[in-house]
Amino acid sequence: MHDGAWFGVALARAAMVTGDRWYRDLLLRELLPLYLKMLNHSDELFDPSRNDADQPVPVTWEGRQLGPEREQGFVPDWWNNGLSVSLEMLNRRDGVRRLTLPGRDELKETGDPECRLSGHSLGMSNHMAQDLAVLLQAAWKLLADRRDPEEVALRTAIGEAARHLEAGRARRGHPNIPAVVAAYARANDDGQRRCGGGGPSAGSELGGVGPHGAPTGTMPWRRRRRGKESAFRHSRMMRCTNGSLRSFGMGR
């Protein structure tokens, strides 16, 4: 999933620099629709009710696992049909061929000595969210001035995907990831959010309410900060956000 997002960014940049329609068509007809489908319809695609892993959820997965309800804005760490192999299963010292991290394994009942992956992960990291946000920004920039109905529809879907991505991170206590905020602000023409106010996660640092009534408080290790330290943190975050926008020719 990470590699595909960055491949999409490379295609967008190549299309803008060279004008070669091959790059543009591969991105807009093949790769981008897949990621938009996941972000905008993950509530239909991924079911969190079944976890086939036989190990406890690691502490590092706090705020990462899908569930307990289906939701939009989720892209799993992996989603496969049996053509890939799990190195984690192959390297288990106990020899058990089961998932070690939360996920759905369609081959669980039949058994699979080859440790193939068929199903999907139940995890999505902030790293994944950042990669997706950069892809959305690059694709939106490529389509910014287009009037073709199909491309206008794609641009609208990008804005929707950016909203779902931002909302999903906010639900997990991470409402101010710079790249994600930048993607949401630009794709939805939200100048207030781009400047550090308003937007779906406004007030999240004070335990506010985000999209769909979801709480947007910080993670346990991110305590509320006041005074100079808080002001410095906010200014640094906004410099990163504007820098992310400027990297695609979109910043102020």
Question: Tokens 């001035």, residue?
Answer: 145
Task: Judge whether 217 and 173 are in contact, CB under 8 Å.
Answer: yes
DSSP 8-state secondary structure symbol assigned to residue 58: P
What does the radius of gyration of the chain's CA atoms come to, in whole angstroms?
Answer: 19
Q: What is the token pair recorded at 157?
A: 């879907």
> What is the predicted pLDDT for the residue at 231?
45
> What is the predicted pLDDT for the residue at 68?
85
Task: Judge whether 169 and 128 are in contact, CB under 8 Å.
Answer: no
DSSP string, 171-200: HTT-TT-HHHHHHHHHHTT-HHHHTTS-ST
- CA-CA distances (angstroms) from residue 168 to 10, 120, 195, 207, 238? 25, 18, 21, 16, 20
pLDDT band at residue 28, thresholds of 50, 70 and 90? very high
> What is the predicted pLDDT for the residue at 218?
38
What average pLDDT does the structure give for the chain?
Answer: 80
Rounded CA gap, 236 and 173, in Å?
Answer: 19
Task: Judge whether 165 and 73 are in contact, CB under 8 Å.
Answer: yes
Residue 68: cis peptide before it, omega within 30 degrees of 0 = yes
> What is the predicted pLDDT for the residue at 243?
52
Spatial strand order of the sheet with 116-121 comes to: 79-85, 116-121, 103-105
Q: What is the token pair recorded at 2?
A: 């990470």
Task: Judge whether 157 and 136 are in contact, CB under 8 Å.
Answer: no
> What is the predicted pLDDT for the residue at 93?
84
**What would the pLDDT profile of 184-223 be if each residue is shown by its tens digit?**
999 998 766 555 555 555 433 323 344 444 444 333 334 3
| Beta-strand runs (E) in the chain | 79-85, 103-105, 116-121
Q: Which of 23, 24, 27, 135 is nearest to 75 (CA)?
A: 135
> What is the predicted pLDDT for the residue at 193?
59
Rounded CA gap, 218 and 114, in Å?
Answer: 41
Classify residue 184 as exposed, middle or buried by CB count within 10 Å of its CB (0-12, 13-18, 19+): buried
